[in-house]
């Protein structure tokens, strides 16, 4: 009668070991994905923002990705970049604004930033987050602020690119972008971003190519469900190359599309360079873009090789969500950050 129990007891350590090995394999295989999901959750969690943004080591570490708190610091970074042959796009940090006063304050700050770009004579334009200018208050408010800012920059030819946020904002952002571009006649003074991880992006790029739009292609930085976006990074990467080729097609060029390829991924960059060389597309017909503080040596090399390079330079005090998204993109940043945190 005791036999089955004894057998069970003998198997228990084996089962435990097998589970441990399976858990180890899964953790190794999926650690990056889990970490990314947790970090993307933390990037939006109010309680985490409250805690982490008050830790001085966090602020110091975030400085690696941020030009400073003020317009003057963002302009100074741009001047240094321009001297190295790199243009910039400046971004006043802020997102998920839920009241009209904050959206108006952001608009006023961005208008001051545009004036400073003009006065300093730097080679730069502006990138804005739709939710910073009131998208969550109402799409009309975002439209009004975007129109006012584009009007403000019109005489000085300062362009504005609307960054793309999570998939719930894609249709509204594209709709407002097209209204500003076509009905209000801002043309290539207003631009938009498409994310390669979204299934819908091929159709969006096809339409934007037909319209000769001013588009930045990126992989996508938000937590999206598998019904909406490729869960596997390899699929996003393949789609990125496919969409980049569509943006470099003869039709795209004939329609006046000037593509911006935002990536730090050398595989993406090489694929674009090879496609351009094979199809006689001059390096002046497109630009590469990277984020401030990431892969500076590669930025320098691309400039030396004759490519156009633009760096996205964020500034301001609302650095927390931007910073945590950068941690999510590269878990190695997290280990570096936490070890510094422990050291104090
Ligand atoms: C100019 C610019 C504008 C962007 N605008 C948007 C936008 O509007 N909407 C949006 O959803 N996303 C935006 N992104 C973010 C983008 O979607 C990706 O999340 C981010 O660029 C990482 O993807 P990757 O193409 O660099 O490739 P990955 O495969 O993620 O990275 C390739 C390599 O680049 C390096 N790298 C990448 N990220 C980091 C990092 N954070 N720290 C250190 N090294 C890193 C690493 O060496 C990594 O192995 C933007 C990115 C850039 C460069």
CA distance 338 to 39: 13
- Pairing between β-strand 287-291 and β-strand 260-262 as defined by DSSP bridges: parallel
Please indicate whether residue 131, judged by its CB atom, sits closer than 6 Å to ligand 1.
Answer: no
**Residue nearest atom 3 in ligand 1 by C-alpha distance:** 262
**What is the model's pLDDT at position 2?**
47
Which structural domains are found in the chain, ordered by start? 66-318 (3.20.20.220)
CA nearest to 133, candidates 119, 145, 124, 120: 145
**With contact defined as beta carbons under 8 Å apart, do 335 and 327 qualify?**
no
Give dist(CA 68, CA 86) in Å, integer. Answer: 19
For residue 17, give Cα distances in angstroms to 24, 31, 270, 275.
Answer: 10, 20, 44, 49
Per-residue pLDDT tens listing for the chain (344 residues): 445 566 556 666 666 667 656 666 665 566 777 788 888 888 888 888 878 888 887 888 888 899 999 999 999 999 999 999 999 999 999 999 999 999 999 999 999 999 999 999 999 999 999 999 999 999 999 999 999 999 999 988 899 999 999 999 999 999 999 999 999 999 999 999 999 999 999 999 999 999 999 999 999 999 899 999 999 999 999 999 999 999 999 999 999 999 999 999 999 999 999 999 999 999 999 999 999 999 999 999 999 999 999 999 999 988 888 988 888 888 677 776 766 655 55
Nearest-10 crossing angle of helices 320-329, 3-44: 140
Indicate whether residue 86 lines ligand 1 (CB < 6 A). Answer: no
User: Which ligand 1 atom sits nearest the alpha carbon of residue 233?
Assistant: 29
Atom of ligand 1 nearest to the CA of 290: 53
> Under DSSP, is residue 91 helix (H, G, I), strand (E, B) or coil?
strand
From residue 329, alpha-carbon distances to 58, 193, 209, 333 in Å are 17, 18, 28, 8
* pLDDT on residue 342: 59
Q: Is 216 a catalytic residue?
A: yes
Does the C-beta of 158 come closer than 6 Å to ligand 1? no
Compute the distance from residue 179 Cα to the ligand 1 centre, in Å: 28
The predicted pLDDT at position 24 comes to 60
Atom of ligand 1 at shortest distance to CA of 263? 25
Write down the pLDDT at residue 59. 80
Residue of the nearest CA to atom 41 in ligand 1?
A: 326
- CB contact at 8 A, 340 and 320: no
Q: How far is the CA of 54 from the centre of ligand 1 (A)?
A: 26
Reported pTM: 0.89
Q: Is 69 a catalytic residue?
A: no
For residues 147 and 140, the answer to whether their CB atoms sit within 8 Å is no
Q: Which of 233, 325, 329, 336 to mutate to test the pocket of ligand 1 (most atoms within 8 A of CB)?
A: 329
The CA dihedral of 229, 233, 236, 238, to the nearest 10 degrees, is -150
Query: Residue 264 C-alpha to ligand 1 middle, in angstroms?
Result: 6
In sequence order, the β-bridge partners of residue 315 are 92
219 lines ligand 1 (CB under 6 A): yes
248 Cβ closer than 6 Å to some ligand 1 atom = no
Tell whether ligand 1 has an atom less than 6 A from the beta carbon of residue 292: no
Q: Confirm or reject: Cβ of 223 under 6 Å from ligand 1.
A: no
Q: Is the CB of 220 under 6 A from ligand 1?
A: yes
CA-proximal residue: ligand 1, atom 32 (nearest):
265
Q: Which of 36, 107, 163, 237 is catalytic?
A: 163
Question: Which of 107, 216, 310, 326 is labelled catalytic?
Answer: 216
Do 229 and 198 form a contact (C-beta atoms < 8 A)? yes
DSSP 166: S
Return the CA Rg of the chain.
23
């Amino acid at each position: 009668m005791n036999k089955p129990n004894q057998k069970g007891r003998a198997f228990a350590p084996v089962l435990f070991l097998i589970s441990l090995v399976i858990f180890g394999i899964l953790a190794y295989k999926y650690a990056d994905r889990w970490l990314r999901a947790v970090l993307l959750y933390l990037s939006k969690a109010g309680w985490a923002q409250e805690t982490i943004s008050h830790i001085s080591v966090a602020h110091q570490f975030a400085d690696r990705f941020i030009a400073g708190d003020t317009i003057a610091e963002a302009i100074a970074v741009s001047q240094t970049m321009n001297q190295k042959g790199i243009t910039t796009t400046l971004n006043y940090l802020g997102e998920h604004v839920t009241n009209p006063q904050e959206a108006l304050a952001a608009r006023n700050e961005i208008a001051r930033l545009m004036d400073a770009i003009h006065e300093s004579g730097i080679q730069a334009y502006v990138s804005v987050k739709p939710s910073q200018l009131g998208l969550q208050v109402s799409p009309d408010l975002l439209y009004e602020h975007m129109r006012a800012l584009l009007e403000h920059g019109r005489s000085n030819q300062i362009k504005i690119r609307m960054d793309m946020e999570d998939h719930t904002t894609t249709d509204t952002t594209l709709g407002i972008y097209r209204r500003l571009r076509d009905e209000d006649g801002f043309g290539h003074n207003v631009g938009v971003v498409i994310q390669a991880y979204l299934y819908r992006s091929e159709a969006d790029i096809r339409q934007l190519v037909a319209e000769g739009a001013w588009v930045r292609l990126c992989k996508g930085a938000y937590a999206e469900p598998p019904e909406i976006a490729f869960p596997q990074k390899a699929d996003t990467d393949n789609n990125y190359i496919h969409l980049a080729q569509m943006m470099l097609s003869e039709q795209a060029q004939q329609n006046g599309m000037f593509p911006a390829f935002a990536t730090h991924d050398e595989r993406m960059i090489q694929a674009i360079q090879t496609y351009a060389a094979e199809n006689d597309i001059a390096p002046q017909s497109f630009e590469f873009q990277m984020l401030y503080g990431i892969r500076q040596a590669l930025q320098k090399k691309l400039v030396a090789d004759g490519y156009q390079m633009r760096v996205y330079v964020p500034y301001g005090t609302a650095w927390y969500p931007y910073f945590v998204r950068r941690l999510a993109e590269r878990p190695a940043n997290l280990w570096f950050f936490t070890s510094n945190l422990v050291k104090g």
